[in-house]
Amino acid sequence: AFDGKDSQYVNAEGHDATGRFLPYWVRSGDKIIVEPLLELETSDYYALPKSLKQEVVIDPYIYPIDGVDTLLTSAVAPILVDGKFYGIAGVDLAVDFLQKSVEEIALSADNENVTIVSYQGLIVADKKNPGLSGQPLEKLHADWEADLTKVQGGEVAIEEDEGNILIFSPIKFGKTTTPWSYMVSVPRSEVTRRALQATLSLVII
């Protein structure tokens, strides 16, 4: 697409056996190395921005980085010239940083929880259950299909779910149309207790 000279770059740094330009820069210890991207034509990180011609955020997936299988999410934008697709540019983020971020959220009660859910219904991070990262939402909630509708709709919503108050807050990325969601779960008894405390305080005042 750039110069018509792929044959001159077969297996060169950042190219594959066809000479295609596929540089992928990653951290390897204290160094930055470049590898050719893998499974390009069959991967969502390439196929979706190519077909949609817009920014996308990919649901978590396993990808080998420096020989280590890593759970990633990708933020990718298409390279377009006069509406014609020429390639992609993007950045990958290891999902574990999101797990660390929810674990650092201070909650007022041990039985509260915070979960990040992707557009397709994968658990990206869960404060109380880190082992669920990368698992489907049904592992967390029996009525997961109703929850997923709210996630995909980018809704701000509050509902009662199995004795808990469940709060949905959308996470939107740039110009993408596939929002994720924060889900905050608070036991109804805890909400009632706080409401009673606030009422008593007002009465005393």
**Residues 20, 6: Cα–Cα separation, whole Å:** 6
- Per residue in 152-196, pLDDT tens? 999 898 888 777 788 899 999 888 989 999 998 887 766 555 555
6 pLDDT more than 70: yes
Convert the pLDDT of each residue in 14-63 to its tens digit: 999 999 999 999 888 889 999 898 888 889 999 999 999 999 999 998 88
Residue 137 tokens, joined: 């939402």
> pLDDT by residue (tens digit) across 73-91?
999 999 999 999 999 999 9
- Give phi and psi for 178, each to the nearest 5: -125, 75
**Could you tell me what percent of the chain has a pLDDT over 70?**
90
Q: Do the beta carbons of residue 183 and residue 166 sit within 8 Å?
A: yes
Record the pTM: 0.78
Cα–Cα distance, 165 to 161 (Å, whole number): 6
Strand partners, 94: 72
CB 61 within 8 A of CB 95: no
